[in-house]
Amino acid sequence: MLQYLVILLDDAAASFCHYSSAGRAPRPMPADVLRRGIRFAMTENLNVQFVYPAGEVPADVAALVESVDHVKIKPVGAPGPADVTVVDGFDGLPAEPAEGATYVLRTDRAALFARRGELAPVLARAARLNLVLTDVERFADADVAAYAETLDELAGLIAGQYAAGRAPQLNVLNDRLLLTQMNSCGAGETSLTLAPDGRFYVCPAFYLAPDATPVGSPDEGPAVPNAQLYRLDHAPLCRRCDAWQCRRCVWLNRQTTLEVNTPGREQCVAAHVEREASRRLALRLREAGIMLPGAQEIKKLDYLDPFDVRETW
């Protein structure tokens, strides 16, 4: 069931996920398109997430934004307050992260492995940090150890914060501790994106792709062909998987396996490295006497890719 509407206020709106929006020419969403999108969201009881470009948005657009309850997703440095601040690469990290803020850091593997220590100030002040590996589709078996080591170091920072009475969230470590079911991004099922061209897309990545295919509009309503394939029950690998923090990115799925419901090995392996790191963080917190209300036991697995054990299903 549709619950969220992501509205790109500009073609050059910041990417807050795996896809890249770099190099896109600015094209603001026309006010009448925005008006129809907001009306659609209101009539369908949807939560609205506005995604901003780096610069100012037109005054009429800014005024319309305030006509509906919403979340603002902005690139770091964009004017005005943001609910979620997107940082593209370590160089963009603020010297003094805002207390209680939510950040998204888009980074490739190499930078994360090399510069992970620079996340300490963010975890010390922010309420939440979402790490997005922008090259996860190239995650190799050789990256497993480096990623695990990186996550263990970050887990140490988080455990230190817990001991100090703070509880920052890092998506790739904390989410799995508290989830009881798959919590993927929901593109195509619980979430759609309204683009500046006035049409719905499965997510911003599907809009920015060369073969962009719209899936309805505010006037016609959503029309997602083969909509069942975006649901967990139609994902043979994912519905049996308990790496519940995995984004289960349908766009990456499409890129790597040609099917929106089937992840490539790289996404599965990275998610399982995170799951295992979450398990070790849970043990670390338990040993430190820190209780997480609602936290579930995470079982140790002897595989990193559920595909490898499909014969046992």
Partner 1 sequence: MSIKENDKGWQSGMAKNITFIVTKDCQLACKYCYLVGKNTMERMPWEVARQAIDYILDHEAEMKEESVVWDFIGGEPFLEIDLIDRICDYLKTEMFRRGHHWFNSYRFSFSTNGINYHEEKVQRFIEKNRSHLSIGITIDGTERKHDLNRVYKGSGRGSYQDVVRNIPLWLSQFPDAGTKVTISSADIPYIKESVLHLYSLGIREVNINCVFEDVWQEGDDRLFEQQLMELADAIIDGGLYEDYACSFFSERLGKPLDCVAQNQNWCGAGRMLAVDAEGNFYPCTRFAQYSLREKPALIIGNVRDGIDHNRLRPFLTLDRCTQSPRKCIDCEVAEGCAWCQGENYDAAATPTIFQRSTAICLMHKARVRANNYYWNRLFRKLELEDAREAYEKRKKETKNVTC
Long-range contacts of 163-167 (CB under 8 A, 24+ apart): 163/288, 163/290, 166/124
Q: What does the alpha-carbon distance between residue 223 and residue 239 come to, in Å, rounded to a whole number?
A: 24
**Binders of partner 1 among 261-280, rule CB under 8 A?**
261-266
Residue 205 to residue 255: CA distance in whole angstroms: 11
Output the six-digit token pair for 138: 């190239």
Percent helix, strand and coil across the chain, each rounded to 5?
A: 40, 15, 45
User: Which lies closer to partner 1 via its Cβ, residue 234 or residue 284?
Assistant: 234
Q: Please, which residue, 190 or 257, has the CB nearer to partner 1?
A: 257
Q: Whole-number minimum distance, CB 252 to partner 1, in Å?
A: 10
**Segment near partner 1 (CB under 8 A); pick from 51-59, 100-108, 126-134, 254-262:** 254-262
Query: Cβ 247 to partner 1, closest distance in Å?
Result: 17
Q: Which tokens go with 114?
A: 């090399």
Should residue 1 be labelled a site residue for partner 1 when binding is judged by CB under 8 A? no
Closest approach of Cβ 106 to partner 1, in Å? 23
* CB nearer partner 1, residue 239 or residue 286: 239
Could you tell me how far CA 29 lies from the centroid of its own chain? Answer: 23
* Spatial separation of the C-alpha atoms in residues 278 and 231, rounded to whole Å: 25
* CB atoms closer than 10 angstroms to residue 37: 25
Nearer Cβ to partner 1 (175/266): 266
Question: How far lies 175's CA from each of 47, 162, 212, 225, 292, in Å?
Answer: 21, 15, 31, 31, 12
- Stretch of residues binding partner 1 (CB under 8 A), selected from 10-18, 79-87, 119-127, 255-263: 255-263
Closest CA to 252 of 243, 241, 244, 263: 263
* Options 24-32, 49-57, 191-199, 251-259: segment touching partner 1 (CB under 8 A): 251-259
Kindly state the smallest distance separating residue 236's Cβ from partner 1, in Å. 4
Question: For partner 1, which stretch binds (CB under 8 A), given 64-72, 140-148, 158-166, 225-233?
Answer: 225-233
- Residue 294 found at the interface with partner 1 (CB under 8 A): no
- Report in angstroms how near the CB of residue 107 gets to partner 1 at its nearest: 23
* Distance in Å, CB of 248 to partner 1, minimum: 14
Q: Give the DSSP letter string of 58-77.
A: PHHHHHHHTTS-EEEEEETT
> For partner 1, which residue of 194, 260, 269, 285 counts as binding (CB under 8 A)?
260
Residues that bind partner 1 (CB under 8 A): 225-226, 229, 234, 236-237, 256-266, 307, 310
